Structure 1
Amino acid sequence: MKTIKIISAIALTAILGFTSCQSEENSQVGTNPNANSSTSPTASNYQRATMNDGSDDDFLDGNACTELLFPLTANVNGQQITLLSKLDFTAVLNIMGQFNNDSDAVTFSFPIRVRTSAYTDVTINSQSAFNTLKQECETAESQGKDAISCVDIQFPVTMLTYSVSLEQTGSVVIQSEKQLYTFMKNLQDDELFAVNYPISVTLSNGTTVQIKSDAEFQNAISECVQFEDEKDAAEDTAEEVEAILSGTKFKVETFVVAGANTANDYANWSIEFKNDLKVVAKNVVNSALGEVNGTYTVSSETEAFVNINFASNTTVSALSNNWVISTYSNTLITLKSKTDASVTLALKKI
């Protein structure tokens, strides 16, 4: 999935230290039959949820395992650009967004520096080394060694530590994702832990929830992963539909408003979606009626959308809407209004 991070094969070189302290006042001092080992699902969940997130720059490097470090220079669709911070991402996206029927090409001026999922900073000296790192990422993901970036844990979080005999040995107050990742990564076979619940987490859908157990944390992960999967599927749909629309002429096959099919009102009109996000309606019978120009965008959330915008008071202005993509093929796209599902539009390729 596109918003997940994975453990890089590059070894962790910077280890944070922690201070453990015995707390006789803690309500969980003593034995704890629910303590977790380093190989437990709970340990895996917390480690995966706290890896370094390298997904923000995936449009540039195509690698969710690595975070690009600044400064760096890249050639984007033939244009050289130097990036000093994430603020320069906008300039890259503007170049990529000039046309929607081209294949965006990005090459870096090596060496570049990246930060891995394990918080290790690495210098990449060549395209081949860059490709190897990307392949390692894909291999690890296929093996189920992926990390989860759709849960943000609110810190501080306290971890209670136990011996294998389930006697508490101390507690550790964790202040950041990096510290929690390192704590989980460095657990030894003879060390157990328990999370001092409750804790708060924020999911990628914007919901903040209080977690009171390991099981509830697993449920929160399952919920947000499902949400991310829906977003990924919608993004794939948007990309495919945009490719079908771009540079192609369509006719109105059906246009149902208030239960009536008004497609005949547009029988003499073609709708052409240009590759620069312009849309042009032409009367193919009476050229004297000229053209009606508009714009369109294809986007996604947990559904995919086609937004069509023609000027008001034109023959085709009623087609303006934020449409939800219902079904699509290479020749037919069916849409429904985002605000009124009873209003539907079907566009058939000419």
Structure 2
Amino acid sequence: MKKTNGFISILLLTVLMLISSCRQEEYAYVGTPPEQSLSLGSTVVSLLQGTTSNDGSLDNLIDQASCFSVQLPVSVIVNGTQILVEDQKDYEVIELIFDEYEDDEDTLEIIFPITIIMYDFSTNVVLNAEELSVFRDGCPEENEADDDIECVDILYPITASIFNSNSEIIDTISFMDDMSFNSFLNNLTDDDFVSLNFPITLLLHDGTSVEVNNLVALENVIEENKDACDEDDDNDFNDDDCIDCTTTEFLEVWAECSNWEAHLVEIDGESRALEYSSYVFTFHQDGSVLAVSDTETIVGTWVSSSANDKVFITITVPGLDDINGLWELQEIKRTLLDTDVRLIAGENKVHFRSICLPDIPVIDPIDPIVDPVIDIVESLTTGVWGVSNYLVDGVNELPLLGGNVLTFDEDGGVVGSGLLPLSGTWVVNEDNTEMTLDFGLLPPLNLLNADWEVVSVSETQIELQHVGLAGIITSLVLTQ
């Protein structure tokens, strides 16, 4: 019996040794040598963490901070108008409102509470402006060096093989976006051996792509390109308007529009537009320019050039010294009414405006189908009206109005009876085709401030429409 037990013991010891040997061989086969794996604290991991971090500079127009972003949707009040920001294209709506007038003071108020997304995609709830200021103070200054890398992006999905020397668990994991990959990299431990599955495609700032097949190439490409672009980590929302402008686009604008006026000329912080208000400029494709006033016609020259992804214009018109010189194209702003070409040279600015119709789509309002028998004034002043539909660019924004119902009186007054009673004014033109509402600056009914086209009228329903900035259509339906 003892011999049998001894034999079994020897057999078990042999099996254990074989298992241990197999596991070691399996680890040697499956595992990744340290120099070929993503290891905590390595240069390539640091570069990947920066490449996959949250870019907080995209919404500096709202939060004035580059180390975090505001989680969307968020409501803001821009120059007295409440805007629901649902995606990045709504940043352009805010900029259009800011750019509407040159000489006004632009204001933006965030409606709290909000959630902010940090560099590593962690989140914090912010209850008021004072708390937001504390987070903002923790960010680097404008254009100060930081850890995020915005000049290189990863084309997803990518996969990785993982072996943990403690748990001896082998796994494969896929990453679909920056947030998931960044979270994984931030939670690496010394016991993890991670092998990325190549090839991996990197997208560079100039639109080109690079395929890499190992960690060394991955590290080199990121290192070589991490500072190759302007990360735009500042709060000047106008300074990057022409990053993608081309000389061809500029020449098309010059040819398409004529009779340019220098409506803004700012030299050394001093406005000199009045000195040039009598001149009308015509820039010909042959490089000549005419400056015509009531008393004289001056012939000059202009030439365009490009360098480092920027477009430059050199203007030479004898006697018009403030206009002359080398200017950088800052922005080509095109609306339904005019085209504005904005030039900068250091702190100096010249804005040329032409009252022309650029080649952009114009959205036709719905033709009115007003019943001539029904008088809109008589309908509005009878009973109480609720807002049953409020669409902005096809998006239902009815909750923003706070459930207000409206009472119109014959003297041109209107009262909203929501949580906060607000009063305003209303007026209808003689043809019953247009109604103007004005509730002043207080939200939420200031959202209804507009000249509304009357689309349809019945005794119990009135449909209105407004075509605003950039052709954005707002539809309003009042129901009794």
- Cα distance in 1, alignment partners of residues 139 and 228 from structure 2: 23
Give the counterpart of 1:86 among 83, 88, 91. Answer: 88
Change (3 A) 1:324 1:55: closer
Q: Secondary structure at the match of 1:59?
A: helix
The 8 Å contact of residues 53 and 182 in structure 2, kept in 1 or not, is answered as yes
Kindly provide the amino acid, as one letter, of the partner of residue 272 in structure 2: T
Q: Which residue of 2 aligns with 1:248?
A: 272
How do 1:139-218 residues align onto structure 2 when only pairs under 5 Å count?
146-162=147-163, 169-218=170-219
The 8 Å contact of residues 156 and 177 in structure 2, kept in 1 or not, is answered as yes
Distance apart, 1:128 and its partner CA: 1.0
Give the counterpart of 1:62 among 61, 64, 87. Answer: 64
Change (3 A) 1:159 1:222: same
- Cα distance in 2, alignment partners of residues 237 and 72 from structure 1: 23
Q: Secondary structure at the match of 1:173?
A: strand
Count of aligned positions: 264
Kindly provide the amino acid, as one letter, of the partner of residue 54 in structure 1: G
Q: Deviations over 1:26-63 (max 9, x none)?
A: x9734424223211111111122112333322222222
The 8 Å contact of residues 140 and 146 in structure 2, kept in 1 or not, is answered as no
Q: Unaligned regions of 5+ residues in structure 1, if any? A: 1-21, 252-267, 272-279, 293-298, 309-315, 334-350
Q: Deviations over 1:73-132 (max 9, x none)?
A: 223234433334434323211111124566643221221222223223332111111111
The 8 Å contact of residues 57 and 233 in structure 2, kept in 1 or not, is answered as no
Kindly provide the amino acid, as one letter, of the partner of residue 54 in structure 2: N
Distance apart, 1:207 and its partner CA: 0.7
Please give the root-mean-square deviation of Cα atoms over the aligned residues, in Å. 5.0
- Cα distance in 2, alignment partners of residues 128 and 68 from structure 1: 15
- Cα distance in 2, alignment partners of residues 28 and 205 from structure 1: 40
Change (3 A) 1:28 1:182: farther
Structure number with higher relative contact order (C-alpha < 8 Å, ≥ 6 residues apart): 1
Q: Secondary structure at the match of 2:77?
A: strand
- Cα distance in 2, alignment partners of residues 242 and 171 from structure 1: 61
The 8 Å contact of residues 77 and 96 in structure 1, kept in 2 or not, is answered as yes
Distance apart, 1:137 and its partner CA: 2.2
The 8 Å contact of residues 30 and 168 in structure 1, kept in 2 or not, is answered as no
Q: TM-score, normalised on structure 1?
A: 0.58
Distance apart, 1:179 and its partner CA: 1.8
Q: Deviations over 1:169-194 (max 9, x none)?
A: 44433233222111111111222323
Q: Which residue of 2 aligns with 1:29?
A: 30
User: Which has the greater radius of gyration?
Assistant: 2
The 8 Å contact of residues 78 and 109 in structure 2, kept in 1 or not, is answered as yes
Change (3 A) 1:168 1:209: farther
Q: TM-score, normalised on structure 2?
A: 0.44
Q: Which residue of 1 aligns with 2:228?
A: 227
Q: Which residue of 2 aligns with 1:53?
A: 55
The 8 Å contact of residues 205 and 227 in structure 1, kept in 2 or not, is answered as no
Kindly provide the amino acid, as one letter, of the partner of residue 176 in structure 2: Q
Change (3 A) 1:138 1:28: farther
Q: Which residue of 1 aligns with 2:43?
A: 41
Aligned sequence identity (%): 25
Q: Secondary structure at the match of 1:48?
A: helix
Kindly provide the amino acid, as one letter, of the partner of residue 66 in structure 2: A
Give the counterpart of 1:288 among 295, 305, 311. Answer: 295
Change (3 A) 1:227 1:305: farther
The 8 Å contact of residues 328 and 344 in structure 2, kept in 1 or not, is answered as no
Change (3 A) 1:58 1:331: closer
Q: Deviations over 1:295-316 (max 9, x none)?
A: xxxx9973254599xxxxxxx9
Kindly provide the amino acid, as one letter, of the partner of residue 309 in structure 2: T
Distance apart, 1:328 and its partner CA: 4.6
Q: Secondary structure at the match of 1:54?
A: coil
Q: Which residue of 2 aligns with 1:135?
A: 137
- Cα distance in 2, alignment partners of residues 158 and 65 from structure 1: 28
Change (3 A) 1:95 1:112: same
Distance apart, 1:164 and its partner CA: 6.7
- Cα distance in 1, alignment partners of residues 346 and 59 from structure 2: 31
Q: Deviations over 1:224-250 (max 9, x none)?
A: 4333139789x86999x9964884359
The 8 Å contact of residues 238 and 304 in structure 1, kept in 2 or not, is answered as no
Q: Which residue of 1 aligns with 2:126?
A: 124
